Amino acid sequence: MTIAQRLAGRTAIVTGAGAGIGRAIAVRLSQEGAFVACLDIDPAAAAATVALLAVPGVAATCNVADEASVAAAVATVVEARGRVDVLVNNAGIAGPQEPALSTPLDGWQHTLAVNLTGTFLMSRACLPALIEAEGAIVNVASALALVGWTDECAYGPGKAGVVQLTKGMAMDYAGRIRVNCVCPGAVRTPMLESTLPPSADVEATFAEYGKIHPLHQRLAWPEEIADVVLFLSSDDASLITGAALLADAGFTAG
């Protein structure tokens, strides 16, 4: 097997695969030989990602915050492929950009439902197949799981929960699967752009925002996060489980 075939013959599920980091992950895993099931709440977006894959994959509609939707999507993949080797829990939302005092309860609950409960539901649904395959889970958390940030009352705590869920599952299933998460800094995605006010100069704002990263003084690209996810998904990371791997260009180092 060459380095370009690290996931040949394996089946991967990527949630939130319709855009941004999720799309980049799906494309990258496919380039390494994986059959990728692209799950997204937007079926057209998921199908658009499938059209980009190097290895023919499949699109499935899935609301990760809904138990029945998760069960149906995972069952479809398992029935079609007979296995799941890699689960990438990437689906997430920005949530209210507010401090605690002005964060509405429904905004708090919805953010945690997607970002944290969705990761739990997908992991639980895939665990039997992952254990059988001796596979891997990679959760997409955030550098904001580890540091405080203004106007992120719901997002940061939800991602911190993802880090702890990662560590707990890594201990529970050690010796059977590996469970890790990646903690990106600020990544140029449609989700990040959605947090800007309508009047914002996107390019100027992103150029300034990128300065939070000491390493390159710019925002990260989704493809850079996809490379980290590929590593954690592959046998190259055979000794790594329970890790929260920072991919934040030095943001949290200071």
75 domain-assigned: yes
Domain total in the chain: 1
114 domain-assigned: yes
Helix (H, G, I), strand (E, B) or coil at 125: helix
Predicted TM-score (pTM) of this structure: 0.95
Give pLDDT tens digits for 59-109: 999 999 999 999 999 999 999 999 999 999 999 999 999 999 999 999 999
203 domain-assigned: no
Q: What is the CATH number of the domain that holds 153?
A: 3.40.50.720
Give pLDDT tens digits for 132-163: 999 999 999 999 999 999 999 999 999 999 99
List residues bridging with 37 in a β-sheet. 13, 58
Q: How confident is the model at residue 195 (pLDDT cuts 50, 70, 90)?
A: confident
Q: Count CB-CB contacts under 10 A for residue 149.
A: 12
Q: How confident is the model at residue 22 (pLDDT cuts 50, 70, 90)?
A: very high
212 domain-assigned: no
User: Residues 117-129, buried b or exposed e (16+ Cβ, 10 A)?
Assistant: bbbbbbbebbbeb
Q: How confident is the model at residue 4 (pLDDT cuts 50, 70, 90)?
A: low
Catalytic positions are 155
252 domain-assigned: no
User: Which residue segment(s) compose the domain that 67 sits in?
Assistant: 3-187+222-239
What average pLDDT is seen over the chain? 96
Q: How confident is the model at residue 33 (pLDDT cuts 50, 70, 90)?
A: very high
Q: Are 11 and 81 in contact (CB under 8 A)?
A: yes
